[in-house]
Amino acid sequence: MSRQTVKSAIGLSDWLLILLLGFIWGGSFFFNAVAVEAFHPLLVVFLRVAVAALILWVLMLARKQVATPTIPMWLAFIIMGCLNNAIPFMCIVWGQQHIASGLASVLNATTPLFTIVFASWMLSDESMSTKKLVGVVLGIIGVTIMMGADLRSGMTASLLGQALMLAAAISYAFAGIFGRRFKAMGITPMMTAMGQVTGSSLLLLPLILFYEPARDISNATAGAWLSVIGLATVCTAFAYLLYFRILSAVGASNLALVTFVVPVSAIVLGGLFLQEVITRSQWAGITVIALSLLVIDGRLFGRR
């Protein structure tokens, strides 16, 4: 699918960016929890990508970095916006209405597994390796342990909700693979991020106009608006600048590891700022996830 190559090993700076991106997306749970109390879930998704698109357009115009998009570029942006925003965001929003959050997080953490399988089939420079497969399996086990009771309570949940979460994970996997082409097209990470959220905004706009979920926004609190702004600025605009920079450097399979960091970040932040108790099973899961990342990195075991 792509002739460009990526690094065979993840550098320290790339690991730091992966951890930072996971921390940011883990923090999005704070903003989502507040925003959905005042806004329709579909409106939250639309505002998140639309405001992010506006921010990135302003930044690029201010820096005079906007290239004239061609028809193939816009088509690629729309496809990427569909795979990386519209489809997974909507699947997650509606899926979590039917299943427990713990089970949802475990199913979302299957993204690296799907990515490694599909990337090894579609990309010549991202072949399957034993350490990748073992690391991904360990990561999924770690997330499962970490979610503990929430996962057990969700085992009787709706099959539809579980199917939607798996659809989101598969969509994310294909997004990481499809996104590799932007580097080959000579498109910068900022331009790619801007094009993607613009494309997803255009895709979601007809749904907003049809379902009219914005009719009650006059009663939204300041906290809800600030949460939407946080989702758009930090968790979308800035996060996708990191996303495409990491993708161009280490490839789709390695980028997908961020889904292991997200639940760890959400639990740790909840413990620090919301006085949520971090249980033994959660600490055990975090430890197994850390081990999985070390296995995939390979350097520590290589030295031994």
**DSSP one-letter string for the chain:** -------SS--HHHHHHHHHHHHHHHHHHHHHHHHTTTS-HHHHHHHHHHHHHHHHHHHHHHTT------HHHHHHHHHHHIIIIIHHHHHHHHHTTTS-HHHHHHHHTTHHHHHHHHHHHH-TTS---HHHHHHHHHHHHHHHHHHHHHHHHHTTS-HHHHHHHHHHHHHHHHHHHHTTHHHHTT--HHHHHHHHHHHHHHHHHHHHHHH-TTTTGGG--HHHHHHHHHHHIIIIIIHHHHHHHHHHHHHHHHHTTHHHHHHHHHHHHHHHHS-----HHHHHHHHHHHHHHHHHH-HHHHH-
Q: Choose between 81 and 111: higher pLDDT.
A: 81
- Report yes or no on 240 lying in a domain: yes
Residue 12 lies in a domain: no
Residues in the chain: 304
Mean pLDDT computed over 187-209: 90
Residue 8 has pLDDT above 50, yes or no: yes
Under 8 Å between Cβ of 231 and 85 = no
| pLDDT value, residue 3 | 46
Evaluate if residue 243 carries a pLDDT over 60: yes
Q: Is residue 16 part of a domain?
A: no
- Residue 39 in any domain: the answer is yes
Let me know if residue 17 belongs to a domain: no
Assess if residue 206 is contained within a domain: yes
pLDDT > 60? residue 258: yes
Confidence class of residue 2 from pLDDT cuts 50, 70 and 90?
very low
Higher pLDDT, 49 or 110: 49
**Total structural domains in the chain?**
1
Task: Examine residue 162 and state whether it is found in any structural domain, yes or no.
Answer: yes
10 Å Cβ neighbour count for 67? 11
pLDDT at 112 over 50: yes
> Quick one: pLDDT band at residue 218, thresholds 50, 70, 90?
confident
Residue 33 lies in domain: 27-303
Domain assignment of residue 73, yes or no:
yes
Q: What is the mean pLDDT of residues 137-143?
A: 82
